[in-house]
Structure 1
């Protein structure tokens, strides 16, 4: 192939690839074409002649002893040392002889195969580069324009050089998109598929999406002054976010909510009106559980293994449970504890040993004294 160096430089520049990787891809294309056209079992080597701007292809033949039967059975792969020395007097057993191969003499089929092989390997290079680029962006927000919604209600999105798909299962219940809409979503994973090539799987239902939206709206989170410790979501309905401040001058909850709720409302609007509760995180489990059940007012919390037994006034129980149990479900998701509610003055409906009964119950008043 004439002026292959110029072709390599052109492909590298146009596709944004490195010259070295393009060179190796074209070498593989030459070798694979030779194997398909001349022989799959033969050994070939491609070498770039930069001076003449050509790709040189060689067939390699192994030098063996004169009595080695392989030289008779497979003369295209093996040559005896006596025959080899007629070509190169300095050659030794175990060395390889290289014979130049001209693919242009192999006919039109070879030319077509070489063209297809080059296209294939360059496309793989592009996909590998895109894969590496977007792999680093997993867990961040991606924006794109909706191109279509298929029969399975998966939403396809144009994102720069690649396609993204927002599966129905990753879409907030009740929201629909049409071609031309610009949407935001979290990049969940990068997929390489035989049919579709490389594409991005998006999601709008993960807790990470809410966390990243907060980061966009709350400068203190982006600057590292506030940390989002835990997030629990029932997408499209309600969420709870536990935040902590690294500066005594910053109220983490107030900063996330913003003046007149402007920051949290912007996030809620993006999530189709999802109600978001911000609470201050505490490393003390009893305090964290009590805060997670907000807006209910809790009397005391006792941790028993993976269970949190919460005592509260009777008039606060419905608030703690929430509509259809959503508040207590989110509190359990956020804290990681199974929460059992006990009305103040009633007894826990399980048998306890004297030792268990003697365990101290930590009241919130005791904790806050610290």
Structure 2
């Protein structure tokens, strides 16, 4: 047991987690093991000194009133005031914490075995927690990965860092096919935990947000904030409309988004299986914006019937 701190350092390095996280997992494992050796109602405190590579465990018993119900419910965690004064001295007061050393080695080899089992469990949970937090912060970003499997439900499994990504059929552009070894670009929707797949990344290529992120990558004026994407609508793989605006009079938002000879918009369209993308100059005037959004259709009449519900009655020339 004298090498336990070295084991903690080794596990932190092997599992690529911080030493602080590994020490936290060790404390949880040691407390759980100590409770198994005594009682699950017991209270313990663990301190670890990485400088001298040592740890210390104390069992804590809190002094309570003689009629406190917890004396019967959790007798290993509390002690009656009168009993505490009788056993430890008359200077004991309510709320005092009586501490005694807990030595794991005195509880036999089974206790040591349980500790290592608990440590492995808590280290693994910490690894999963770190991964969850790492990728949760990336939700809404574009991810890259390599296809390594396609199942009979046409779910596409993609290797992305330490986790697997799943691009389901409903989140793929209609008619889009991938094969093992393909590099795929998709938007991270969620970090999910499933009994069948474990922790995985739910990906999509059909979200309007995916189109926005691709535009942001191709158009520097969007990524630096000079041009703002106000709204996006898509029929994935077929057509899309994206409304743009800018506060800079010297910038043409449509021209910047399309690029010279359409090079920027075509790069995005090619990534989306040839999706036809129309860029619209946004207007704060609803009637003007709606007219632009429905172009090239010719509008004969337009009436906003409910501003709150955003309902509009439109008559379009056939």
TM range (shorter): 0.7 to 0.9
1:147 Cα offset (Å): 1.5
Superposed counterparts of 1:106-117, under 5 Å: 106-117=107-118
Encode CA deviations 1:71-96: one digit per residue, 9 max, x unaligned. Answer: 899875547235532xx786445433
1:81 aligns with 2:55: no
Superposed counterparts of 1:28-39, under 5 Å: 28-39=28-39
Could you tell me which residue of structure 2 aligns to residue 100 of structure 1?
A: 101
8 Å CA contact 1:63–1:84 kept in 2: the answer is no
8 Å CA contact 2:259–2:265 kept in 1: the answer is yes
8 Å CA contact 1:63–1:81 kept in 2: the answer is yes
Aligned in 2, Cα 1:264/1:72: closer, same or farther, shift over 3 Å? closer
Encode CA deviations 1:304-356: one digit per residue, 9 max, x unaligned. Answer: 3259xxxxxxxxxxxxxxxxxxxxxxxxxxx9544532549xxxxxxxxxxxx
Count of matched residue positions in the alignment of Structure 1 and Structure 2: 315
Encode CA deviations 1:106-126: one digit per residue, 9 max, x unaligned. Answer: 334322321221122222222
1:201 Cα offset (Å): 0.9
User: Within 2, Cα distance between the matches of 1:163 and 1:63?
Assistant: 51
Could you tell me which residue of structure 1 aligns to residue 315 of structure 2?
A: 341
Give the unaligned 5+ runs of structure 1. Answer: 308-334, 345-370
After TM superposition, the score normalised by the length of structure 2 is 0.86
1:34 Cα offset (Å): 1.7
Give the unaligned 5+ runs of structure 2. Answer: none
1:291 Cα offset (Å): 0.8
Secondary structure in 2 matching 1:138 = coil
Could you tell me which residue of structure 2 aligns to residue 296 of structure 1?
A: 297
8 Å CA contact 1:66–1:81 kept in 2: the answer is no
Aligned in 2, Cα 1:178/1:36: closer, same or farther, shift over 3 Å? farther
Aligned in 2, Cα 1:211/1:108: closer, same or farther, shift over 3 Å? same
8 Å CA contact 1:64–1:81 kept in 2: the answer is no
Superposed counterparts of 1:204-243, under 5 Å: 204-243=205-244
Aligned in 2, Cα 1:90/1:227: closer, same or farther, shift over 3 Å? same
8 Å CA contact 2:191–2:200 kept in 1: the answer is yes
Secondary structure in 2 matching 1:107 = helix
User: Within 2, Cα distance between the matches of 1:149 and 1:336?
Assistant: 42
Larger radius of gyration: 1
User: Within 2, Cα distance between the matches of 1:339 and 1:68?
Assistant: 71
Could you tell me which residue of structure 1 aligns to residue 17 of structure 2?
A: 17
1:38 Cα offset (Å): 2.9
Q: Which moved more, 1:71-80 or 1:137-146?
A: 71-80
Backbone CA RMSD of aligned residues: 3.1
8 Å CA contact 1:237–1:273 kept in 2: the answer is yes
Aligned in 2, Cα 1:211/1:52: closer, same or farther, shift over 3 Å? closer
Could you tell me which residue of structure 1 aligns to residue 47 of structure 2?
A: 47
Aligned in 2, Cα 1:228/1:249: closer, same or farther, shift over 3 Å? same
Secondary structure in 2 matching 1:124 = helix
1:143 Cα offset (Å): 0.7
